[in-house]
């Protein structure tokens, strides 16, 4: 990823803003999951985060176009990282919207647990992006993001299996299955962020 040109502070700051916005969106989603069915205010706040994420992504891609090959990051890495960060918030917003759209009447413990894992994963993303700016070693944080994604994946599988095992209203099963899968997509997007950053780290090491 790193060329011989100097790091672009503005681009790195935009990535930090995207990470912080993703972490805020995840925290708001966790609050939304706990507050249903009275979560309209939280849903609106998650939506605001999604719009802010779109603005930051646009700024990142505009900065990339402006800098061209002068940026110290490979264009493909910048694009992939921006899209993955945006996906974290997009899926968080979709999950929050599903809660209202499906008229979910009560919180579900497993969903809140997945929300906690998403918050933890986005926090690691935020820290990692900060350390990317400072040239620090990212690997411990990347490993933790992978661990959190694996834990979320197992929790989603168990939650969906429990829905079917308990023989509740089929419509409730379908709705919560969709919500669980959307939550999983948001955590998966954190892992995609980690994958891009891992590739960046390997490129850095190979050029030393």
pLDDT for 68-99, tens place per residue? 666 678 889 999 999 999 999 999 999 999 99
Is 1 within the bounds of a domain? no
Number of domains in the chain: 1
Is 192 within the bounds of a domain? yes
Q: Quick one: average pLDDT of 52-70?
A: 89
Is 3 within the bounds of a domain? no
Lowest mean pLDDT among 24-38, 113-127, 166-180: 166-180
Q: Where are the alpha helices (DSSP H) in the chain?
A: 9-35, 40-67, 75-101, 109-134, 139-165, 170-206
CA dist 43 and 33 (Å) reads 10
Is 4 within the bounds of a domain? no
CA distances to 12, 37, 184 from 16, in Å: 6, 33, 23
Is 46 within the bounds of a domain? yes
pLDDT surpasses 60 at 4: no
Q: Quick one: average pLDDT of 135-150?
A: 93
Written as six digits, the tokens of 132 are 């990317």
Q: What is the CATH number for 190?
A: 1.20.58.220
Secondary structure (3-state) at 68? helix
Is 2 within the bounds of a domain? no
* Domain that includes residue 32, residue range: 9-206
CA dist 208 and 197 (Å) reads 17
**pLDDT at 1 (0 to 100):** 42
Is 135 within the bounds of a domain? yes
CA dist 15 and 133 (Å) reads 9
Is 16 within the bounds of a domain? yes
Q: Quick one: average pLDDT of 148-158?
A: 97
């Amino acid at each position: 990823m790193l060329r011989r040109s100097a790091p672009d502070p503005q681009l790195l700051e935009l990535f930090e803003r995207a990470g912080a916005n993703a972490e805020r969106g995840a925290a708001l989603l966790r609050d939304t999951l706990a507050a249903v069915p009275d979560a309209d205010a939280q849903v609106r706040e998650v939506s605001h985060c999604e719009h802010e994420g779109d603005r930051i992504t646009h700024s990142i891609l505009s900065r990339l176009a402006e800098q061209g090959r002068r940026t110290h990051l490979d264009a493909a890495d910048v694009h992939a990282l921006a899209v993955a960060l945006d996906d974290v918030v997009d899926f968080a917003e979709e999950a929050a919207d599903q809660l209202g759209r499906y008229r979910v009447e009560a919180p579900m413990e497993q969903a809140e647990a997945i929300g906690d894992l998403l918050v933890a994963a986005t926090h690691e993303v935020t820290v990692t992006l900060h350390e990317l700016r400072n040239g620090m070693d990212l690997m411990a944080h990347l490993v933790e993001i992978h661990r959190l994604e694996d834990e979320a994946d197992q929790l989603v599988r168990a939650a969906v299996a429990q829905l079917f095992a308990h023989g509740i209203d089929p419509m409730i099963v379908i709705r919560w299955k969709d919500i669980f899968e959307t939550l999983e997509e948001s955590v998966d997007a954190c892992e995609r962020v980690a994958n891009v950053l891992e590739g960046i780290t390997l490129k850095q090491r190979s050029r030393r």
